[in-house]
Amino acid sequence: MKTNQIAAQLYTLRDHCKTAADLAVTLKKIRAIGYTAAQVSGVGPIPPEEIRSIADAEGIKICATHEGGASICDNPQAVVERLGKLGCADTAYPYPHVPIATLDDVKRLAVALDRSGDVLRRAGMRLSYHNHANEFRKVAGKTVLQWLYDLTDVKNLQGEPDTYWVQSGGGDPVEWCQRLHGRLPLLHLKDFKIGDDNKPIMCEIGNGTLNWPAIVRAAEISGCPWYIVEQDVCPADPFDSLAQSWKYLTTHIAER
């Protein structure tokens, strides 16, 4: 992993991306930290052309987005058009917008994702799946997440595993990076620890218990080009959290 492969997930900074003026200030701040790329998610109602213009002006590459689940499944062509305006080839399905309680539910979602992923692929773009803990519940002998990958064409659905949520769901982030060999364009980096109340806590990279050298090495071997730092909940200033994660990754993990 090189430093220019590390991106900031703007969902971390969603309270600072509500307007175009906010976004310009936010991207300037993450560029000052050292990030040269960002994933667009949680941003206010700013036209995609304007988002791209602001990002270009601040020296930030848009590496990927999250789009709404219904948009991806019901109108993938609109997603293609939005990505084109952003100058970006990757997006991820962020969270199940339909039930995934039964195998039939999961099969229906898999069919929809496979179909939409085919539309994106034919446009030279990629659809990935972003997991939370609920996809590690087992249905008919396998986790929901494994079913989704097994029931879709590798060409149509790629992976965006989230290290915190993999661990929280009872999985192994290293194993999942290995399992998605050749199917891993995006990886969400988010550390994990157990708090005083014995509940899991999201934290800055290096402040938790995850084995980052092993995770990143497994992702590299699997061909991952983008390592996206995300922290849904920060203890104080989210810019400080992103800066701490950047410092750890660039000091201990990344190559210049």
The pLDDT value given to residue 73: 98
Q: Mean of the pLDDT values across residues 28-39?
A: 99
The pLDDT value given to residue 105: 98
Give the pair of three-digit tokens for residue 113: 């994702």
pLDDT digits (tens, 9 = 90+) for 126-148: 999 999 999 999 999 999 999 99
Q: Distance (Å, rounded) from C-alpha 228 to C-alpha 187?
A: 6
Tell me the one-letter amino acid at 27.
L
Residue pair 145/138 in contact (Cβ under 8 Å)? The answer is: no
pLDDT digits (tens, 9 = 90+) for 82-96: 999 999 999 999 999
Task: Indicate whether 209 pLDDT > 80.
Answer: yes
pLDDT digits (tens, 9 = 90+) for 155-198: 999 999 999 999 999 999 999 999 999 999 999 999 999 999 99
Q: Distance (Å, rounded) from C-alpha 189 to C-alpha 239?
A: 16
The pLDDT value given to residue 39: 99
Q: How many CA atoms lie within 13 A of 80 on its CB side?
A: 15
**Rounded-to-5 percentages of helix, strand, coil across the chain:** 45, 20, 35
Question: How far is Cα of residue 185 from the mean position of the Cα atoms in its chain?
Answer: 10
- Fold observed for domain 3-253: TIM Barrel (3.20.20)
- Taking all residues of the chain, what is their mean pLDDT, rounded to a whole number? 98
The pLDDT value given to residue 45: 98
The pLDDT value given to residue 252: 97
The pLDDT value given to residue 160: 99
Q: Mean of the pLDDT values across residues 101-111?
A: 98
Q: Mean of the pLDDT values across residues 29-35?
A: 99
The pLDDT value given to residue 247: 99
Q: Distance (Å, rounded) from C-alpha 113 to C-alpha 97?
A: 12
Give the pair of three-digit tokens for residue 115: 């179909």
Q: Where are the domains of the chain?
A: 3-253
Residue 38: closest CA among 23, 22, 60, 53: 60
Residues near 99 by Cβ (< 8 Å), separated by ≥ 6? 105
Task: Indicate whether 256 pLDDT > 80.
Answer: no
